[in-house]
Amino acid sequence: MLSIGLILVMFLIGFLGSFLSGMLGVGGSIVKYPLLLYVPPLFGMAVYTAQEVSALAMVQVFFATLGGVWAYRKSNLIDKRLVLDMGVSIVIGSLIGGYGSKFTPGEAINLIYGIMAVVAAVMMLKPGRKENGDGQKTGEKFHYNRVIAIGSSFIVGILSGIVGAGGAFILIPIMVSLLGIPLRVTIASSLAIVLLSSIGGMVGKIMAGHVLWFESAILIVGSLLGASFGAKVGQTANRGFLQGTLAVLILLTAVKVWYDILF
């Protein structure tokens, strides 16, 4: 059984991580991974392996994206063909990555996370597009390179499956910059794609035996409450400031991971 202190810490990690991600509209694993890795040991409560942390993060991603897809279910912004193209390949990739994490040293998982965190921070620090700059109208048709879409999502799936991330913070820039997908369609469709990715990744983690079910349950409760509250606050907050703040947080975390690996 977990101590009361550890239960409270896990709940707060779920709440805080999803509160921040809820304000920005991104997945929460990029925040929860370092919190789960460093906060419990900081208070002398528990030490989780990189494999266990990535499994906890992947379970949270599933429920977070499921809620997002449910919110978009009545809109026409989720492009079914795009979700099918990228979703199938990312599921296969995340299954491989999720199960492959069983044979991946913890240092390697942290290294992959560190690289992804740096890339995510750089992308978030870039000036954002204006909301009306995508030119997308509901139901409007668009074209994209299916080879790039399938190949890139497969690679993102493998990496995300290893570290326990949904991959939205990497997928969104790929979809907008490389594939030319309208921004609003990208946001909605990426949720569905990452939901599929998290299914594959979570199954891989379960097969690898890394899922801690009791901790996962506490994390999910905190995540659902935090994401809902964060989304409400994010509607009135300055998005550019929030993105910059999160980018700095992710970059500092990446520096910490790199420092632990090198020194």
Q: Of the given ranges (2-16, 49-63, 199-213, 228-242), which has the lowest mean pLDDT?
A: 228-242
- The pLDDT tens digits of the residues spanning 151-188 come to 999 998 898 788 766 677 778 778 877 888 887 788 77
Residue type, 243: Q
Buried b (16+ CB within 10 A) or exposed e, 200-234: bbbbbbbebebbbeebbebbbebbbbbbeebbeeb
- The pLDDT tens digits of the residues spanning 114-137 come to 787 777 777 666 655 444 444 444
Q: Can you give the residue range of the structural domain that contains 33?
A: 4-262
Tell me, what's the pLDDT at 246? 66
* Dihedral pair phi/psi, residue 147, rounded to 5°: -65, -45
Given a cut of 60, is residue 149 above it in pLDDT?
yes
Mean pLDDT estimate for the chain: 78
Tell me, what's the pLDDT at 54? 81
Tell me, what's the pLDDT at 104? 81
- The pLDDT tens digits of the residues spanning 71-120 come to 777 777 888 899 999 989 988 988 888 788 778 887 788 788 778 777 77
Tell me, what's the pLDDT at 84? 93
Q: Per the structure, how many domains does the chain have? A: 1
Match 């597009």 to its residue by tokens: 129
Tell me, what's the pLDDT at 22? 66
d(CA 148, CA 175): 10
Tell me, what's the pLDDT at 122? 75
Q: Under 8 Å CB-to-CB from 262, ≥6 apart: which residues?
A: none
Banded model confidence at residue 148, pLDDT cuts 50, 70, 90: very high
Cα-based distances in Å from 171 to 27, 120, 123, 192: 11, 10, 11, 12
Instruction: Please tell me whether the overall predicted TM-score, pTM, comes out greater than 0.85 for this model.
Output: no
- The pLDDT tens digits of the residues spanning 20-41 come to 766 765 666 667 777 888 888 8
